[in-house]
């Protein structure tokens, strides 16, 4: 089973997904939540996401920080992948910058090897500048933004500012973090559903978020919070308390870990 692909998929959507929050001149936490990740009935990881309203150069922005820990091989608990990501958009939900840091840790014959790769993304009106730093050096990529491509509708929905009714479709665009390419995305409202988690009932709208390479089903609350996610790869994420999300994994969890990723 390819856990590497699953982690890349999780981090990709984390770069794209944020929840609703209240505007304010001072930095404030809008949402701070944990989820447990499962393959079948086996817990394989966690996700911690924090959304804040902040300022950048005197302008209001939304920031989303995500930390993910994932077991790579259940037979070798020391083998794991960690990822931290940050995304910043302006008050009109135009993307400004993003950072994705992934670390692969693999113990072999008593020796623990670690490999880290960090990608910095800066969005401009007609181009996207990408720089990836890894052990082999630095790779740079310039992605041209074609005429008519507008990311705002995608982020306005993902941040929870706009909603989607059952049977409605939202066609927009995203930057696919797996290959740093602009791709069309279609978000579809499927149905209303009440979800029971840990004895609590959540009234949700079930939506399908699809890009050419991936499909994810998300159970969203009225303010955009993700209560449950079901991935094409088979991974399921369920809302949890921090202690429940971390229990039995032996993974390092650093809330707001992405804040420590250096800026572009």
Percent of the chain with pLDDT over 70: 80
Residue 240 has pLDDT above 70, yes or no: yes
Among candidates 24, 20, 91, 8, which has minimal Cα distance to 49?
Answer: 20
Q: Rounded mean pLDDT of the chain?
A: 80
| pLDDT given at position 108 | 74
| pLDDT given at position 252 | 52
- Tell me the pLDDT tens digit for each residue of 35-62: 999 988 888 888 888 878 888 888 888 8
Residue 21 has pLDDT above 80, yes or no: no
Q: Give me the residue label for tokens 């302006």.
A: 90
- Tell me the pLDDT tens digit for each residue of 75-91: 666 677 888 888 899 99
Count Cβ atoms below 10 Å from residue 46 Cβ, excluding itself: 23
Percent of the chain with pLDDT over 90: 34
Among candidates 59, 65, 121, which has minimal Cα distance to 96?
Answer: 121
| 109 against 195, higher pLDDT | 195
| pLDDT given at position 173 | 92
Domain of 247 in residue numbering reads as 3-260
Q: Taking the model in full, what pTM does it have? A: 0.78
Q: Give me the residue label for tokens 């070798």.
A: 76
Tally of domains within the chain: 1
Residue 26 has pLDDT above 70, yes or no: no
User: Which long-range contacts (C-beta less than 8 Å, at least 24 apart) are formed by 112-118?
Assistant: 112/78, 118/261, 118/262
What's the whole-number mean pLDDT along residues 100-129? 87
Among candidates 82, 125, 90, 80, which has minimal Cα distance to 18?
Answer: 90
3-state secondary structure of 202: strand
What's the whole-number mean pLDDT along residues 155-175? 86
What's the whole-number mean pLDDT along residues 230-248? 86
What's the whole-number mean pLDDT along residues 193-222? 91
């Amino acid at each position: 089973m390819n856990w590497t692909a699953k982690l890349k998929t999780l981090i990709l959507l984390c770069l794209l997904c944020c929840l609703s929050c209240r505007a304010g001149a001072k930095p404030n936490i809008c949402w701070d939540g944990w989820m447990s990740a499962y393959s079948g009935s086996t817990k394989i990881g966690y996700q911690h996401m924090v959304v804040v309203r902040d300022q950048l150069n005197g302008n209001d922005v939304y920031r989303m920080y995500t930390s993910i820990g994932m077991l790579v091989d259940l037979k070798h608990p020391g083998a794991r992948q960690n990822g931290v990501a940050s995304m910043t958009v302006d008050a009109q939900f135009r993307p400004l910058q993003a950072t994705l840091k992934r670390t692969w840790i693999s113990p072999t014959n008593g020796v623990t090897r670690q490999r880290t790769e960090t990608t910095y993304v800066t969005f401009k009106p007609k181009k996207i500048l990408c720089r990836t730093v890894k052990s082999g050096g630095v790779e740079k990529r310039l992605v041209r933004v074609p005429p008519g491509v507008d990311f705002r509708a995608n982020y306005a929905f993902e941040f929870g500012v706009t909603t989607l009714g059952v049977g409605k479709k939202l066609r927009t665009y995203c930057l696919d973090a797996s290959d740093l390419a602009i791709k069309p995305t279609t978000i579809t409202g499927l149905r209303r559903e009440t979800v029971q988690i840990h004895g609590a009932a959540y009234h949700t709208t079930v939506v399908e978020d699809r890009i050419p390479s991936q499909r994810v089903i998300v159970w969203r609350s009225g303010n955009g919070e993700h209560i449950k996610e079901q991935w094409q790869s088979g991974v399921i994420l369920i809302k949890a308390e921090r202690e429940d999300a971390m229990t039995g994994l032996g993974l390092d969890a650093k809330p707001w870990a992405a804040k420590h990723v250096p800026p572009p």
